[in-house]
Chains A and B, each alone.
Chain A
Amino acid sequence: KQEVTQIPAALSVPEGENLVLNCSFTDSAIYNLQWFRQDPGKGLTSLLLIQSSQREQTSGRLNASLDKSSGRSTLYIAASQPGDSATYLCAVRPGTSGSRLTFGEGTQLTVNP
């Protein structure tokens, strides 16, 4: 059974700092991995999707990497801003058929002005 773990559970940083969020998964046979952002009381916004054959994806100040063999992904946020404050979730899709995702518990990020 796939298990996804995110570390740290919570993180508080000053504005402008670069930071890394970690995600690990136990079964390396994944189809893809997605990073999401969730604001309080809201749905999930897809940030980045990395296919199993890819090593990284970039969007603006965000960079996600994937090391499938070691079961790890990182989300790098450059020059953090107070507006980045949210919960960040990673989710993996299995390599077998079906689209269901397995989620981590999330990292709650607070960027202080």
Chain B
Amino acid sequence: GAVVSQHPSRVICKSGTSVKIECRSLDFQATTMFWYRQFPKKSLMLMATSNEGSKATYEQGVEKDKFLINHASLTLSTLTVTSAHPEDSSFYICSAPMTAPSSYNEQFFGPGTRLTVL
């Protein structure tokens, strides 16, 4: 299957700092990518839809100014957690649907980024 990478895989930061997480589709182009947050023993919670060349679409209750999303190219989306606080500690996962050559829109997920804010 297609490959989606995330970097870094793990980050520990001090409260008040900003952290950038990258999501890349390695062997296909993705005009849309999705960012999820996952709490321990819970399912994925969609945070926002990242759109190449336009603004991201945020889910209800997700702070746009807190979680900045930039979809700079067809293979790269970034999530920046600004002024991170301990409650932002979580597992962040991105995904990208592959629209070509298949039209099935099968979604492929990155390996996730574990963020710990001290």
A41 within 8 Å of B by Cβ?
Answer: yes
At the interface, is chain B mostly helix, strand, loop or mixed? strand
- Are the C-beta atoms of B106 and A105 separated by less than 8 Å? no
Question: What chain A residues lie within 8 Å of B44 (beta carbons)?
Answer: 44, 89, 103
Q: Of B13-21, B66-74, B76-84, B109-117, which stretch is located at the interface?
A: B109-117
Question: What chain A residues lie within 8 Å of B1 (beta carbons)?
Answer: 46
A100 in contact with B34 given A43-B111, A46-B106, A105-B43 (CB within 8 Å)? yes
Of B95, B106, B110, B112, which contacts A49 at CB under 8 A?
B106
Of B34, B104, B109, B112, which contacts A41 at CB under 8 A?
B112
The distance in angstroms between the C-alpha atoms of A106 and B49, with both chains bound, is: 22
Question: What chain A residues lie within 8 Å of B95 (beta carbons)?
Answer: 44, 101
The distance in angstroms between the C-alpha atoms of A100 and B6, with both chains bound, is: 19
- Chain A residues packing against B (C-beta within 8 Å): 31-32, 34, 36, 41-46, 49, 51, 89, 91, 93, 98-101, 103-106
Interchain Cβ contacts under 8 Å between A and B, 14 examples: A34-B106, A41-B112, A41-B114, A42-B112, A43-B112, A45-B109, A46-B107, A98-B49, A99-B32, A100-B34, A100-B49, A101-B34, A104-B43, A105-B42
